Structures are given as C-alpha cells and as structure tokens.
Chain A
Amino acid sequence: MKRIIHKHPLAIRWFHWINFPVLFVMIWSGLLIYWAYDPYKIQLGDYTLVSFFPNGFYKFLHVPFRLAEGMAWHWVFMWLFMLNGLLYIAYTFASGEWRHLVPDQNSFREAIQVTLYDLGLRKEQPPFIKYNGAQKIAYFSIMLMGVGSVLTGFAIYKPTQFYWLTALLGGYEAARLEHFILTIGYVLFFFIHVGQVIRAGWQNFQSMVTGFEVIKPNADDRPKVSEPTDDQPAGPTEPQPIQPALS
C-alpha cells in the first residue's frame, strides 16, 4: 500500500495547463506588437543598461513586421486568457482552495526563511501544508498580475471607452508601460518557476498532472506542520465535529 496526498484538484490542473499556452500566445503576440514601437530601456545616466529589445533578439525570433498578425493573436486569445483567469479565481473561492494560496501574516517571514534555505544559508525550511510562504506570495502575486494585465490591457485597447481606467492608471502611455512591465514579470516568474519545479523534483512536478503525490514511507522530505491540525475543519464546507486525534 502507498500513502498518497491529494495535492491539486482537477480544476486547478486544467486552469494551470490551459494558462500555459494561452499566456505564451499573449506574451509572444505582445512582442510582435511591441516591436512596432519599442522605446523602453533601463538607463544609468546616459548608459543604456538594458534595451527592450536589441535588433538581434528580434531577428533571431523572427519578430519584425508582424504587427497585424500579433494584434490578431492578441485580441483573439485575450478572451481565453480572461475567461480562464476568471474561472480560476471563481473556483479558488468556491472550493476554498484560496486558503492554500492567499498569503497570511506568517508568509513573508516564511518566504525569507525559504529563500535562505534555497540559497543554502539555512538548514531547514519552515513547515508548510500545500505551499510555503514564498510560493503563496509568488502564486498570489501572479494572479494579481493577471488582473493587472487585463486592466492595463483594456486601458490601452479602449482608452476612450475606459477613459476612467486609463486615467486611473496614469494615462495611455503609462498604461502601456505598466502592461509591458507586467509581461516582463511573467517571463521572470516563468524562469524562476521552471527552475524551482526542476529543483523540487519529479514527485512535485507529476502532481500537477496527476493531482496526487506519493508520500515516501521513511524519508519524509515533506516538512510537516509541527502541531497536527487534523482537528481543523477541512475546507469551507460544513464545520465538522471535532475528532480526537487518533493514536
């Protein structure tokens, strides 16, 4: 017999894997659009530290002169991106899954400890249930960033219709920059995310496909919360009668 832990509900796995190609299309088509007017750079005085993006980068990816195509992809797949995101948010609320995701007052302290652990500066990582503090902050932020991309997106897509939104975001040009920065944020998140998934290993990765993780009998590499909380109501459903801890 094996002991398995049910980690990711089916719906969460669908939302996650649908978002992967959809967000890829949004970023890729966004790049095709951005190429047509690409003024952003990071400068130190007169010295350009990073230019978004060098010509070689565009050429290598075959980006130039595809504005119309980029807009078509962007304005078609935006609906899927929004729909998937809305269903995801609605599901996490309805299912109580948000309790695993939303950072609490301990998350920031935990996130620092996790980072120190990841850097090899700390022996043990703090205990967690589904996601550690760093994960909670990262996954919750990425959800907020999705909301931000939709809002900044509409502010530049329909600046006359949503004039109040465009004004709130600091104007048309500011909204375009914000939309761009959020996209850079996704790309950075992607690389860190994939790196961490590789580090975490096969059991963790396959759980995003199968939904469960097999708990190894002896080598318990999964940190446990110090005090058993079996007597907590499981999720947002009906409060259950408190059971005495089995012994």
Chain B
Amino acid sequence: MSQPQEPQLPQDEVPESAVRRRMLKSFGWFALAAAIPVGIYEWITHSPRAQGIAKPFRKVLDANEQVARTYFSNTNLVKTFPAERAARQARINGYEGIKTPLADDWQLQVDRPNNQPLLLSMDAIKALPKYELIYEFKCIEGWSQIQHWGGARLSDFLAKHNLGTRSGNAPSPDNTHDLFRYVGMETPDKGYYVGIDLESALHPQTLLAYELNGQPISAQHGAPVRLIIPVKYGVKNLKRIGRIFFSDDRPRDFWAERGYDYYVGL
C-alpha cells in the first residue's frame, strides 16, 4: 500500500446570510445539547437513594454485577506468591463487629432451612484439609498487600456439612439450580455483616482462615475464624464469624448499605 495522503478539506461558496444562519443554528443546538449533561446531573443527584447512593447508580452497579456473573468465569485463580513475599505485619484496617472481647463460649452457628442450626467449634473447621494462601489482599480504598493466610476451604466446609443447597445435599457443580444465590455472614455482635454470591463463596481459594503467617490469627485480625475471599475486596472478608446463613435474596451488607457496590468482585 502506498503512503496514505491526507485529503484536502472540502470547501464551499455560500452567501453570507447562510453562514450566519448556520452558525446560529449550530450554537442553538449546542446550547440545547449542553442542557443534557446538566439534566442528567440533576436527575442523578435528586433521585431517591437506594442503600446509600442515588438509585440510578445502584441500578447500574447491579447491572454490572449481572455482567460479571454472566460473562466472567469463576474458576480464574488469584495469583499467588512465595511465602517470603508476604508482609510480616498484615495491615489491620477496621474494628467493626470486633470491638468487644470474644465470648468464651463462641461457637460457629450455621442456619439450615427446615433444620436446626448447626453449632460448631473450631475443631470442626480444623478437621477439614488445611490450605495455605499467599496472595495480594486488596482493599476497596486502593491499597493492597501480600498476605499469608491458612485455613479450610469454605467449599470443603459447605460440602462436609451439606450446606448452601435447598435440597440439603452437598453443593454440586452439576446442579447449580439447587444452590442458594447468596451466603450471609455476620459477627457474633451483628456489628458487621456481609452478603456474598454463592459462586464466589465456592471459589477454591475462599478460606475459613484461622492462621496468619503460620500463627493463629489475633483478635484484631478476626480470631478465631474469619473469611478470606480473594475474589472480593477486603470489605467482604468478615472477621470473627458468628453466624452463616443462606438466602436467595441479598443478605444485608455493611458497606453496601453505606453506598458501596454490593458485588465488588475482582
């Protein structure tokens, strides 16, 4: 192909009155069009609010979630790192739900449909295979840090205790219609709570974590057991889990109620 030549701009001879008319017409349309962004801004800022932000925003964020859940795969693994890259001191960034000391009689409560709640001790969680995960923890504020967690896979936990399904069987990838849409978790004092789509909860890197850098996790990191879910921002990584339940409706979510996206999938 030969070197493309830049074409000359087309020219016209027009009467002076036509020039003035076209100019007025263009600027008229321009002024009218300029009202559109102003109108959109007024519409958004004067809309009723839905969970801490304007309703139009909430609707698009929820649509973004549908895009993610429809088109994105849930089998992509989060990048992992060698243990020596992990931060010695994992950052602590919030105390909601863990402001009071942990009760001595702590037990993990798991609600089951048509059944008594399951009450479990740490031994039940530690009985499951232990996994180590060294990954880049990502906070919704924008910072990230490589951290080294250890614990049981949430998917193993759900399978072991036949949780997350309407039938009361273990979750099966072949029968996704049997799964509830969401899992909810909250701290014993109900001061912090999250809702998570079940696909993300079943992700192979989602852990019920009880170790940090090979040591039992401290109270400030969420002892005795916390959620580590690498496919979400830190806001979903609930500390000191008190209760787990399943639902087809969105469980309430602490930060979503304060205007953040509900899904926050990474």
- Using a CB-CB cutoff of 8 Å, which residues 196-215 of chain A contact chain B? 206, 209-212, 214-215
Considering the chains assembled together, what is the distance between the CA atoms of A6 and B82 in angstroms?
61
Docked Cα-Cα span, A68 to B261, in Å, equals 8
30 contacts between A and B (CB under 8 A): A1-B13, A2-B13, A2-B16, A3-B13, A4-B14, A4-B19, A6-B11, A36-B140, A37-B139, A37-B143, A71-B260, A71-B261, A72-B54, A72-B58, A72-B261, A73-B57, A76-B56, A79-B60, A129-B7, A158-B68, A160-B77, A160-B230, A160-B266, A172-B144, A173-B144, A206-B23, A209-B26, A229-B8, A233-B5, A234-B7
The answer on a CB contact under 8 Å between B7 and A233 is yes
A229, chain B: closest CB distance, angstroms: 6
B265 interface contact, C-beta 8 A: yes
The answer, yes or no, to whether A21 is at the interface (CB within 8 Å) is: yes
Q: Are A1 and B7 in contact (CB under 8 A)?
A: no
The reply to whether B261 and A159 contact each other, CB–CB distance below 8 Å, is no
Chain A minimum-CB-distance residue to B135:
A160
Q: Does A223 contact B (CB under 8 A)?
A: no
Given contacts A75-B64, A76-B61, A172-B138, contact A130 B33 (CB under 8 A): no
| Bound-state Cα–Cα, A203 to B255, Å | 51
Q: A167-B79, A173-B144 are known contacts. Are A161 and B52 too (CB-CB below 8 A)?
A: no
**Could you tell me if A5 and B11 are in contact, using CB atoms closer than 8 angstroms?**
yes
A141 sits at the interface (CB 8 A): no
Cβ of B22 under 8 Å from chain A: yes
Give the docked Cα–Cα distance between A37 and B170 (Å).
Answer: 41
Residue B10 at the A interface, CB < 8 A?
A: yes
Q: Is the CB of B138 within 8 A of A7?
A: no
Q: Contact between B6 and A129 (Cβ–Cβ < 8 Å)?
A: yes
Q: Which of A68, A104, A206 contacts B53 (CB 8 A)?
A: A68
Q: Are B72 and A158 in contact (CB under 8 A)?
A: yes
- A3 pairs with B54, CB closer than 8 A: no
CB distance from A91 to the nearest CB of B (A): 16
> Which residues of A sit under 8 angstroms from B68, Cβ to Cβ?
158, 161
Known: A67-B140, A160-B230. A209 touches B11 (CB 8 A): no
Bound CA span A230–B68, Å: 52
| B42 contacts chain A at the CB level, 8 A cutoff | no
Q: Given A1-B15, A2-B13, A161-B72, A72–B142 Cβ distance below 8 Å?
A: no
Q: Which of B93-131 contact A (CB under 8 A)?
A: none
B residues with a Cβ closer than 8 A to A are 3-16, 19, 22-23, 26-27, 30, 33, 37, 52-54, 56-58, 60-61, 64, 68, 72-73, 76-79, 136, 138-144, 230-231, 255, 258-261, 265-266
Total number of A residues with any Cβ neighbor in B under 8 Å: 51
Q: How far is the CA of A71 from the CA of B61 in the complex (A)?
A: 10
Known contacts A4-B19, A72-B61, A161-B266: does B259 contact A129 (CB below 8 Å)? no
Nearest CB in chain B to that of A73: its residue? B57
Contacts of B19 in A (CB 8 A): 2, 4, 214
For B4, the closest partner residue in chain A by CB is A99
Chain A's closest residue to B230 (CB) is: A160
Residue in A73, A159, A176, A212 whose beta carbon sits within 8 Å of that of B22 in the complex: A212
Are A68 and B260 in contact, CB atoms less than 8 angstroms apart? Answer: yes
A96 / chain B contacts, CB cutoff of 8 Å = 7
Given contacts A36-B142, A75-B60, A76-B60, contact A5 B260 (CB under 8 A): no
- Interchain CB contact (< 8 A) of A72 among B22, B141, B255, B259: B259
1/0 per position for A35-76, CB-CB distance to B under 8 A? 011010000000000000000000000000001110111011
- The 8 tightest CB contacts between A and B, nearest first, are A37-B142, A68-B259, A72-B57, A210-B26, A36-B141, A21-B37, A76-B60, A37-B141
Q: How far is the CB of A203 from chain B (nearest CB, A)?
A: 11
Contact between A159 and B13 (Cβ–Cβ < 8 Å)? no
**Interchain CB contact (< 8 A) of B11 among A4, A67, A99:** A4
The smallest beta-carbon distance between A86 and chain B, in angstroms, is 16
User: A21 contacts which chain B residues (CB < 8 A)?
Assistant: 37
Shortest distance from the beta carbon of B93 to any chain A beta carbon, whole Å: 11
Interface: A34 (CB within 8 A) = yes
Apart from A37-B141, A99-B7, list 16 A-B contacts with CB within 8 A: A2-B14, A4-B19, A17-B33, A68-B258, A68-B259, A75-B61, A100-B6, A160-B230, A160-B266, A172-B138, A176-B142, A209-B26, A210-B26, A210-B27, A211-B26, A232-B8
